[in-house]
């Protein structure tokens, strides 16, 4: 049986992809845990100021929130649908990286960020964070019903507009989409120019 030779570049790209995905996932889950331990559940305190920590007063800080939907609260309450879409995207990205995107370390890194973001929020949507519904004012649990919602904790104000709270997973996905757009606009164009230049050189 012939031995299949796997390029060294493949190992490098896949290792980079896995390292960024694992590091991003760890950063997301650890910061979520810290925020909810330090600031408590949303609405746990009667005075909102007690559950908000301002790094820059009225501009940037930390405040816990629970999002039952996707980015910006889209598809709120559609947990099953969001989980299915997350698993489909995860499978597609992993297959793409292993068979095609490994030829570019930049793309492998970007897809590692996306996978970290998807897995971080998927962890929350499945209720694995262990949070349960509670009546914080009377301090009596309403029941051991898990909360199927994403934990958000980063607070940004744009003037008087309260930008929807987000987390590291959201930031990774938004940044990766921006990087993908920049790659499509500039990197692909540069590569095409290099190919055309080399082709012209050969023809001459």
H, E, C per residue of the chain: CCCCCCCHHHHHHHHHHHHHHHHHHHHHHHHHHHHHHHHCCCCCCCCHHHHEEEEECCCEEEEEEEECCCHHHCCCCCHHHHHHHHHHHHHHHHHHHHHCHHHCHHHHHHHHHHHHHHHHHHHHHCCCCCCEEEECCCCEEEEEEECCCEEEEEEEEECCEEEEEECHHHHHHHHHHHHHHHHHHHHHHHHHHHHHHHHHHHHC
More confident residue, 186 or 144: 186
The Cα 2–Cα 162 span in angstroms is 61
Residue 190 lies in a domain: yes
58 is annotated as an active-site residue: no
Residue 39 lies in a domain: yes
The Cα 114–Cα 112 span in angstroms is 5
| Residue-level pLDDT at 179 | 95
Residue 202 lies in a domain: no
The Cα 69–Cα 125 span in angstroms is 9
Number of domains comprising the chain: 1
| Residue-level pLDDT at 198 | 46
| Residue-level pLDDT at 51 | 73
The Cα 158–Cα 160 span in angstroms is 6
Could you say which of 28, 58, 135, 152 is catalytic? 152
Say if pTM beats, i.e. exceeds, 0.85. Answer: no
Is the CB of residue 139 less than 8 Å from the CB of residue 40? Answer: no
More confident residue, 164 or 78: 164
Residue 166 lies in a domain: yes
Residue 1 lies in a domain: no
Mean pLDDT across the chain, nearest whole number?
83
152 is annotated as an active-site residue: yes
| Residue-level pLDDT at 119 | 97
| Residue-level pLDDT at 200 | 44
The sign of the dihedral angle between the CA atoms of 5, 8, 9, 11 is: positive
| Residue-level pLDDT at 192 | 45
Supply the range of the domain harboring residue 158: 8-196
The Cα 73–Cα 86 span in angstroms is 16
Could you say which of 28, 124, 170, 188 is catalytic? 170
75-89, 92-106, 119-133: least confident range: 75-89
The 10s digit of each residue's pLDDT in 106-154 is 999 999 999 999 999 999 999 999 998 765 444 444 556 788 999 999 9
pLDDT higher than threshold 60 for residue 201: no
Residue 186 lies in a domain: yes
How many residues are recorded in the chain? 204
The 10s digit of each residue's pLDDT in 32-75 is 999 999 998 887 655 445 578 999 998 999 999 999 876 665 66
| Residue-level pLDDT at 120 | 97
Q: Above pLDDT 70, what percent of the chain?
A: 76
Give the other-Cβ count within 10 Å of 108's Cβ.
Answer: 25
The Cα 70–Cα 112 span in angstroms is 19
């Amino acid at each position: 049986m012939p031995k299949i030779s796997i390029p060294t570049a493949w190992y490098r790209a896949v290792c980079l992809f896995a390292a960024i995905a694992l590091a991003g996932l760890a950063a997301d889950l650890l910061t979520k845990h810290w925020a909810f331990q330090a600031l408590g559940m949303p609405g746990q305190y009667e005075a909102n100021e007690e559950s908000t920590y301002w790094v820059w007063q009225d501009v940037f800080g930390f405040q816990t929130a629970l999002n039952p939907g996707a980015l910006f609260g889209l598809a709120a309450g559609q947990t099953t649908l969001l989980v299915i879409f997350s698993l489909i995207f995860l499978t597609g990205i992993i297959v793409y990286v292993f068979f095609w995107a490994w030829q570019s370390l930049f793309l492998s890194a970007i897809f590692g960020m996306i996978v970290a973001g998807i897995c971080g929020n998927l962890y929350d949507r499945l209720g694995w964070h262990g949070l349960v519904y509670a009546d914080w004012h009377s301090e009596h649990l309403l029941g051991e019903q898990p909360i199927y919602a994403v934990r958000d904790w980063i607070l940004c104000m744009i003037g008087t507009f309260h930008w929807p709270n987000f987390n590291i997973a959201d930031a990774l996905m938004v940044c990766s989409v921006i990087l993908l757009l920049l790659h499509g606009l500039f990197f692909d164009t540069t590569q095409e120019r290099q190919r055309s230049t080399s082709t012209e050189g050969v023809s001459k």
